[in-house]
């Protein structure tokens, strides 16, 4: 009996201590600080669900622009690549030799052009001037001799042969002087513009040949045209590939697209910019919102459906792989039915992961002067920007928790705070618009 009383006393003491520390912990924690927003009612087109497929924004089958042997294949299927990142390299030795020869030819043509533009050197000008002066002196000497001979003729002291010889020498000296002067003038004037233009054309042609070969060299490195993921390999190191043959395939996954087939009767009610709610079968605990970016104006003649493309920003997992992957099955709700009154809540107010989405509704407790919350299971409808239609035990003007709702429980006490700087209350949708604002 005494032992039983001791065990009962110890148990009571432990229970009292547990209650004390639990109460102390609650007192220290206090009400959960949350941000809230009102449930709004709008007159919007009702939604209809269509099935679709997640597709990459761009899918590029990358080929080689030149023929050659693959010396390096640098990626594998599933690798993430950036724009301009090399995927494969081809043997370039032959092209490098041609480039070296073309650069040497270009240098030769440039120096030829520079030589013409610079004209004669100072030494060449002085040499030309000296020759002209020598020719001038010879001409003056010949003229002096000619005058002397003519005086002798007048005194009958010279023969006709002598005067003819002196005249010939004088004319030769005069011609040599004219030739020397013309050569000097050419040296001073420099090369003709036509010769400079010809040299410029030869230099430009040599430069373009270098550029042509450099372009061919660049084509020996096959690169990714955009950021994305390698989804297929079509060659390996050591393999010979012909020009135009495929090397790899790359897809862009951010942003990602959903492609759905919409019946022709709904197409007139759908416009670009319309917001769509997207459910991915492989990700049942998440809801996505996208925007209609294209309504392809050519339908399938058998099914009478038109392709509609919906774009949304992808999300990244902890291993840096995309959450939404091309090929996933999707269900898309588009506002294409008749208009009706619907209730909308901010997308951030949804708590997913359970059997049904839940929102926490603010419930004032006037008796205890506290503010608590109650969970309300909802069914989701159409999306309008960052708002989503909900159906459940809600009414307009109810307040739902949009920030701080991750750890709330039924009946939890809360303290309403203004929105933090990192998150703002979403702008309410217009009274009648289903399109993105």
Q: pLDDT at position 429, please?
A: 63
CA distances from 103 to 23, 201, 220 (A): 85, 16, 19
d(CA 193, CA 335): 74
pLDDT at res. 75: 95
Q: Token pair of 71, please?
A: 């010396």
pLDDT digits (tens, 9 = 90+) for 23-62: 434 444 678 899 999 999 988 887 889 999 999 999 999 9
| Phi, psi angles (nearest 5°) of residue 168 | -65, -45
CB 267 within 8 A of CB 295: yes
As assigned by CATH, the class of the 60-91+219-250 domain is mainly beta
Determine the pLDDT at residue 10.
40
Report CA-CA distances (Å) from 61 to 223, 256, 277: 12, 18, 31
**Residues of the chain scoring pLDDT < 70:** 1-29, 153-155, 157-158, 421-437
In angstroms, what CA-CA distances link 149 with 168, 171, 174, 175, 250? 12, 15, 17, 20, 100
Helix (H) or strand (E) holding 58: strand 40-63
Structure tokens at 96: 């490098």
Whether this prediction's pTM lies above 0.75 is answered by no
pLDDT digits (tens, 9 = 90+) for 84-117: 999 999 999 999 999 999 999 999 999 989 988 8
CA distance 237 to 421: 53
Q: Nearest Cα to 396, choosing from 36, 41, 37, 35?
A: 41
Please give the pLDDT value at position 428.
62
pLDDT of residue 147: 80
Complete DSSP assignment for 52-116:
EEEEEEEEEEEE-SS-EEEEEE---TT-EE-TT-EEEEE--HHHHHHHHHHHHHHHHHHHHHHHH
Q: What is the pLDDT of residue 142?
A: 81
Predicted pLDDT at 12: 44
pLDDT attached to residue 284: 86
In this structure, the dihedral spanned by the alpha carbons of residues 404, 406, 412 and 413, taken in order and rounded to 10 degrees, is -10
Q: What's phi and psi for 355, nearest 5 deg?
A: -60, -35
Q: Cβ atoms within 10 A of the Cβ of 61, count? A: 12
The CB-side HSE value for 252 (13 A sphere, CA atoms) comes to 16
Peptide bond into 51 cis (omega under 30): no
What CA–CA distances, in Å, run from 349 to 7, 377, 417?
A: 49, 12, 15
| Contact assessment for residue 117 and residue 196, using Cβ atoms and an 8 Å cutoff | yes
80 phi and psi angles, rounded to 5 deg: -85, 135
């Amino acid at each position: 009996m005494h032992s039983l009383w001791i065990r009962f006393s110890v148990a009571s003491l432990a229970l009292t201590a547990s209650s004390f520390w639990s109460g102390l912990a609650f007192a220290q924690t206090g009400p959960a600080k949350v941000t809230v927003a009102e449930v709004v009612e709008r007159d919007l087109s009702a939604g209809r669900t269509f099935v679709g497929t997640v597709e990459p924004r761009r899918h590029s089958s990358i080929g080689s622009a030149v023929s050659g042997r693959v010396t390096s294949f640098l990626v594998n299927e599933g690798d993430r690549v950036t724009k301009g990142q090399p995927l494969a390299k081809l043997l370039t030795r032959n092209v490098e030799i041609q480039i070296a020869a073309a650069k040497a030819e270009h240098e030769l043509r440039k120096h030829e052009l520079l030589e013409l533009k610079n004209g004669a050197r100072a030494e060449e000008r002085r040499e030309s001037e000296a020759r002209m002066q020598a020719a001038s002196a010879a001409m003056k000497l010949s003229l002096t001799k000619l005058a002397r001979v003519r005086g002798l003729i007048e005194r009958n002291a010279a023969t006709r042969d002598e005067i003819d010889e002196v005249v010939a020498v004088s004319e030769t000296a005069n011609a040599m002087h004219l030739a020397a002067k013309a050569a000097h003038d050419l040296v001073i004037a420099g090369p003709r513009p036509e010769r400079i233009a010809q040299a410029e054309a030869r230099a430009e042609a040599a430069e373009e040949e270098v550029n042509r070969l450099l372009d061919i060299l660049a084509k020996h490195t096959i690169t990714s045209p955009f950021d994305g993921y390698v989804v297929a390999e079509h060659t390996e190191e050591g393999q010979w590939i012909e020009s135009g043959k495929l090397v790899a395939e790359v897809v862009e996954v951010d942003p990602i697209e959903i492609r759905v087939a919409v019946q022709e009767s709904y197409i007139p009610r759908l416009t670009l910019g319309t917001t769509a709610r997207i459910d991915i079968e492989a990700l049942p605990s998440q809801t996505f919102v996208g925007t209609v970016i294209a309504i392809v104006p050519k339908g399938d003649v058998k099914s009478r459906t038109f392709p509609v493309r919906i774009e949304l920003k992808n999300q990244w997992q902890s291993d840096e792989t995309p959450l939404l992957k091309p090929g996933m099955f999707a269900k898309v709700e588009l506002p294409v039915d008749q208009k009706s009154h619907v209730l909308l809540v901010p997308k951030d107010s949804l708590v997913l992961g359970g059997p049904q989405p839940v929102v926490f509704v603010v419930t004032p407790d006037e008796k205890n002067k506290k503010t608590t919350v109650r969970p309300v299971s909802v069914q989701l409808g159409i999306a309008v920007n960052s708002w989503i239609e909900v159906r459940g035990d809600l009414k307009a003007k109810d307040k739902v928790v949009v920030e701080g709702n991750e750890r709330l429980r039924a009946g939890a006490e809360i303290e309403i705070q203004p929105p933090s700087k990192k998150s703002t209350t979403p702008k309410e949708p217009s009274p009648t618009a289903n399109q993105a604002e």
